Structure 1
C-alpha cells in the first residue's frame, strides 16, 4: 500500500526531475515543424523514456554499495538533491542564452542527445532513492508520466512562453529537488 506521504514524494520527485525536460521542450516548441502534434508527442516520449530510465540505472548502481553507505544514505540523498537543485537554480538565474534547439533540426538523435543531457540529475536521484522506502516501479512510472506531460505541455507552450519560462522552470525544479532532499534528511534524522 502506498501512503499519501510516499505518493507526494514520488510526485514531487517527478516534478523536480521533469523541469529540465520542460525547459528544453519549451525551447523545442519554438521550432518550425510541419506536424506540431507529432513532434510534441515525439519530444515528450523520448524525454520521458530517458528521464525514467536513468533513475533505474542510478538505483541499481547505488544498491551495490547500499550496505556500506546505509549510515549516511540520507546525507548522500540530501547532498545529491541539494547539489542538483542548486545547479538548476543557478542555471535558471543566469539563463539568458539563445534557445538550445533554435539552430538544430529536431531529429531523433538530437532529441535523444538532449534527453540524455537533461537526465544526468535523474541518475543521481536514482541513487538517492536507496535512502527512501518508495515503491521503485511506481516512482519510475510517475517520473515517466510527469516528464511526458510536462514535456508535452512545454512543447505546446513553446511559441508563447519562450526562454523566459525556460529559466523559471529550471528555478522551480531546483527548489522542488532541494525541498525533497530536506524532507528525506528530516525524515531520517528525526522520524526513524
Structure 2
C-alpha cells in the first residue's frame, strides 16, 4: 500500500504538467503515446535507482534508512517549492523531442525515490510496475483534463504529492 501511495505522489508531477500540456489541444492518439512514454520512464528511472540503492545499502547498512527517508523528504520539499512557482517551462512541447524531454523530466524524481526504496529493500517489480502504471494513468488523466477543462489542478496536485512524500520520509526516519 505504501508503494501505491508513493507511486501516486510521484505521478502528481506528471499529472500537473500534463494538464498544462493538454491545453495545447492534443489528439487522443497523441495523449496515449505521451502517457505510455511517461509510464515507461517511470519504470526505467526507479529501476535504475533501486538497483543502485540495493548496491549502496550493502555498504552503508543502517544509514540506508536515514538516507532513504531524508531523500524522500527532500523530493517532497522540492515538489512543494515547485508548486509555488508561478512560471512553468514551455520548452516541453507536446511533439517530438519535447515529449521525450517531458517524460524524462517528470521521471527524475522516480529515480531518486527508487534509490531510496532500493536502500530500504523494496520489492523491485511491485515498485516499478506501480510507478509505471500510476504515472501513465495520471498523465492520461492530466492531458485529457487539460484538453477539456484547462489548468484547474496544476500546482495543487504537485503540492499534494510533495506532502505525501514528506510524510513517508518522516515515517521512515521516525522508525529509525
Structure 2: 5+ residue stretches without partners: none
State TM-score, norm by structure 1: 0.84
Contact 2:70 2:173 (C-alpha < 8 Å) held by counterparts:
no
Contact 1:50 1:115 (C-alpha < 8 Å) held by counterparts:
yes
Contact 2:93 2:99 (C-alpha < 8 Å) held by counterparts:
no
Contact 1:30 1:158 (C-alpha < 8 Å) held by counterparts:
yes
Q: Secondary structure of the equivalent of 1:156?
A: helix
Of 30, 37, 40, 2:28 maps to: 37
1:163-190 CA-to-partner distances (Å, cap 9, x unmatched) read x421111101101111111222234x2x
Per-residue deviation at 1:133? 4.1
Say whether residues 1:60 and 2:60 are aligned partners.
no
- For 1:136, the equivalent position in structure 2 comes to 124
Q: What is the count of residue pairs matched by the alignment?
A: 175
CA distance in 1, matches of 2:113, 2:93: 30
CA distance in 1, matches of 2:121, 2:44: 19
CA distance in 2, matches of 1:154, 1:105: 15
- For 1:108, the equivalent position in structure 2 comes to 96
Of 134, 139, 148, 1:146 maps to: 134
CA distance in 1, matches of 2:36, 2:167: 27
Say whether residues 1:9 and 2:2 are aligned partners.
yes
CA distance in 1, matches of 2:111, 2:156: 23
Q: Secondary structure of the equivalent of 1:134?
A: coil
1:4-41 CA-to-partner distances (Å, cap 9, x unmatched) read xxxx11111101110111111111101133xx211111
Say whether residues 1:120 and 2:108 are aligned partners.
yes
- For 1:3, the equivalent position in structure 2 comes to none
- For 1:76, the equivalent position in structure 2 comes to 67
| More deviation, 54-63/177-186 | 177-186
1:135-178 CA-to-partner distances (Å, cap 9, x unmatched) read 2101110111100110000001114141x421111101101111
- Which runs of structure 1 show a deviation greater than 6 angstroms over 4 or more consecutive aligned residues? none
Contact 1:18 1:146 (C-alpha < 8 Å) held by counterparts:
yes
Structure 1: 5+ residue stretches without partners: 1-7
